[in-house]
Structure 1
Amino acid sequence: MDTEQEVKRATELIDQKLALEEERQKVCSCPPAQPPEVARLDTPLLEDEKKHGPANKGIEGLKGQERVRKSSVDLRREIIEVGGTQYLFELRKKPKKKKEEKKPEPEPEEITGPVTEEDFLRAAVHGKLHVVEKFLADGGSPDTCDEFRRTALHRVSLEGHTEIVEKLLAKGATVDFRDRLDSTAVHWACRGGHLDIVKLLQEKGADLNVKDKLLSTPLHVATRTGMIDIVEYLIDNGVDVNACDREGESALHDAVRLNRYKIIKMLIQHGANMLAKNMAGKTPVDLVQLWQADTREVLEKQEPNATEMPA
């Protein structure tokens, strides 16, 4: 079987697996059947009776003190019979509480003194734009970093504070500044799953094929964290789908190991090499055998009773 047929075969089987998983999710997401109305009824009388015994001993006597309640349904039905109905009528008469209006966010506190580097970096994490603006307005460097060489741009890219990313870039933050592990803001944005920030960074010249100390690219990071929209964006913008990390593994190796079915399909359709070997001499299909027997069935053979899916 040639490579083109292998790709087509793998794509068909992955489609098949996805369809089966979606069907399982639909079944799991069906709302459970509602129990009878009486079974779901609850009143303060029930709690009171649990603590102090029957509220109306006279009627209880008429019903027979020797009666054994077999279930909470019986107990609740009895409460209704001996006076709980009156409580329900009173409850209906009570006016419904109006939904509390969402209070507007408080105005940011006025900053009187200078902002320290530590406060600047902490403000970036928590999305406090006014603190970041004060630090920059006072001449602070947008590339200020901590002991791990993580800048404010790294932090806000992970947290998803788009407005602060725009402010930092406008003030000249180095878009491909590397932390101690050589990760850039693009790596952090992929880890956090923030496609809008990946786009902003690319517009400012960020390298989408940049590698960290483990030789992981943004595509590796987005694949490992399951960020399908970012994977698709990176591929559409021409990243190397067969780039390998320090272990010699491509994004396809990672996707197979982690059962990222949609990403597997996307990578194969865009030229990922199914026969590429890592440093241990294993291809993505070999990893299926080692890590996930279920995924191996998807790639190598059709499941019984499965519907044939288009390529």
Structure 2
Amino acid sequence: MASSEALQRATALIEQRLAQEENEQKLQAPPGQKMSMDALVLEDEKHHGAQSLALQKVKSQERVRKTSRDLRQEIIDVGGIQNLIELRKKRKQKKREALAAQEPPPEPQEITGPVDDETFLKAAVEGKMKVIDKFLADGGPVDTCDQFHRTALHRASLEGHMDILEKLLESGATVDFQDRLDCTAMHWACRGGHLEVVKLLQSRGADTSVRDKLLSTPLHVAVRTGHVEIVEHFLSLGLDTNAKDREGDSALHDAVRLNRYKIIKLLLLHGADMMAKNLAGKTPADLVQLWQSDTRQALEHPEPGSEQNGLEGHVENGQEPPQPVPVQ
């Protein structure tokens, strides 16, 4: 009797955990989907890169791992390995159903009625060429944009839909159209990590040195989001590696802050200035030393709720930073 109750309790907890994982999967983007354009925060991208969703996933998995060890052992001890196998089968089935529910509906064979602006912009994200063709054939303006001034060109650049991009550009889309954050399609292509889109936009006259509201160039964006191939391409064009954004940070500052090791090496090989100072008076080497000293202090004196960026925490607390660890 006790064994039966223990099995029921363990099974209920497992079901609760599976439901929690399913909800987390619904909140996360499906494979291949890029970050939401409407949720973009340039400051967060600058200081934290494109790691937010990945970090959340790792933390979630760690929580599940810690809570499931005892439950798994209890199931094995009480009901045998067959119960665990059945639960795993059920979990996989739920994952397949969740992924199937997230897939966009197939594109209709023929578009009969008129296409409104919202449907047109959504089609640029989902890669529905027939909807794009219908909207443009009916005389719809190719530079139609949403409330954030983001056009179909912005959206397709983020997703990497080359056929749609070529259609939009052939139809007269403004290649350097800026949204409310002053980002162009070039910025969005770097954010999405699509080198072929970068090259296409460049061939149609896109400005590779255009700046957004943070005065960030596409090179800054590619560095922050960690797309090495795009960084290599920009460097091969001879772009200014020491261009500074609104805070005086060069691409090397950003690469060091976000620990982009391969990109740091590339920038140095192409003449990035290691001694360039930002508006806070910090060189890229200073950021390395601050990161080292803050990490060391966190390891030696862990305090709940005291987590800081590492590059700003001591200043915000009104404390002097600890002595930096010399870089070998």
CA separation in 2, counterparts of 1:300 and 1:236?
29
Contact 1:175/1:204 (8 A) holds in 2: yes
Aligned counterpart, 2:194: 194
Q: Displacement of 1:125 after TM fit?
A: 1.1
Q: Displacement of 1:159 after TM fit?
A: 1.1
Contact 1:142/1:172 (8 A) holds in 2: yes
Aligned counterpart, 2:218: 218
Q: Displacement of 1:300 after TM fit?
A: 2.7
Contact 2:148/2:179 (8 A) holds in 1: yes
Q: Displacement of 1:107 after TM fit?
A: 6.6
CA separation in 1, counterparts of 2:216 and 2:109?
41
CA separation in 2, counterparts of 1:205 and 1:158?
18
**Unaligned segments of structure 2, at least 5 residues:** 1-74, 82-104, 296-323
Aligned counterpart, 1:278: 278
The 5 Å alignment of 1:1-311 reads: 108-292=108-292, 300-301=327-328
1:154 partner letter:
H
TM-score (norm 1): 0.61
CA separation in 1, counterparts of 2:290 and 2:152?
40
CA separation in 1, counterparts of 2:270 and 2:118?
44
Q: Displacement of 1:204 after TM fit?
A: 0.1
Contact 2:289/2:327 (8 A) holds in 1: no
> C-alpha offsets along residues 53-102 of structure 1, whole Å, 9 cap, x if unaligned?
xxxxxxxxxxxxxxxxxx87xx88xxxxxxxxxxxxxxxxxxxxxxxxxx
CA separation in 2, counterparts of 1:251 and 1:222?
9
Q: Displacement of 1:234 after TM fit?
A: 0.7
Q: Displacement of 1:108 after TM fit?
A: 3.0
**Unaligned segments of structure 1, at least 5 residues:** 1-49, 51-70, 77-104, 302-311
Identity %: 69
1:187 partner letter:
H
**Cα RMSD, aligned residues only:** 2.5
CA separation in 1, counterparts of 2:242 and 2:292?
22
CA separation in 1, counterparts of 2:292 and 2:109?
53
- What secondary structure sits across from 1:300 in the alignment? coil
Contact 2:215/2:244 (8 A) holds in 1: yes
1:127 partner letter:
G
> C-alpha offsets along residues 252-292 of structure 1, whole Å, 9 cap, x if unaligned?
00000111010000000100000000000000000111224
> C-alpha offsets along residues 208-247 of structure 1, whole Å, 9 cap, x if unaligned?
1111111000000000000000000011112111000000
1:118 partner letter:
E
Q: Displacement of 1:118 after TM fit?
A: 1.1
CA separation in 1, counterparts of 2:111 and 2:260?
47
> C-alpha offsets along residues 121-161 of structure 1, whole Å, 9 cap, x if unaligned?
01111111110111011111111111111000000101111
Larger Rg: 1
CA separation in 1, counterparts of 2:292 and 2:133?
49
- What secondary structure sits across from 2:181 in the alignment? coil
Contact 1:243/1:250 (8 A) holds in 2: yes
- What secondary structure sits across from 1:191 in the alignment? helix
TM-score (norm 2): 0.58
CA separation in 1, counterparts of 2:145 and 2:107?
28
Aligned counterpart, 1:5: none
